[in-house]
Amino acid sequence: MLNIGRREAYTWLAHLLCEFLARLKAVGLTRDNRFELPITQAELADAIGTSTVHVNRVLQVLRADGLIQTKGTQITVPDWARLQEAGEFDPLHLHLKEDEAA
């Protein structure tokens, strides 16, 4: 809970996208750091505790920073290391094998 309150929306959303990628990769649902994210910006906003408008702005910044690319419901992560850094993400808490989390 403490972790939730200390992150800004940019970091939180980057972290959430890292979490999705790592978990989906572990079960074979990614390809070339690309995955489907069939949820709305309103649902993302609820997940990170902010407004839909703010999520839209943060997604624009993540795209402008080259951390994600979007096409419909598809998210591509061109630089996994940079997205992890932006999201302060450490896959160790997922308890995945090393090759599944990267």
Is the distance from CB of 13 to CB of 59 less than 8 angstroms?
yes
| CA neighbor of 48 nearest in space, from 6, 12, 3, 10 | 12
| pTM of the predicted model as reported, rounded to 2 decimal places | 0.85
40-92 tens-digit pLDDT? 999 999 988 899 999 999 999 999 999 999 999 999 999 999 999 999 998 87
Distance CA 34, CA 81 (A): 14
With cut-offs at 50, 70 and 90, classify the pLDDT of residue 14: very high
Cβ neighbours of residue 48 closer than 8 Å, sequence gap 6 or more = 9, 12, 13, 16, 55
The domains located in the chain, with CATH, are 2-89 (1.10.10.10)
Total Cβ atoms within 10 A of residue 11: 17
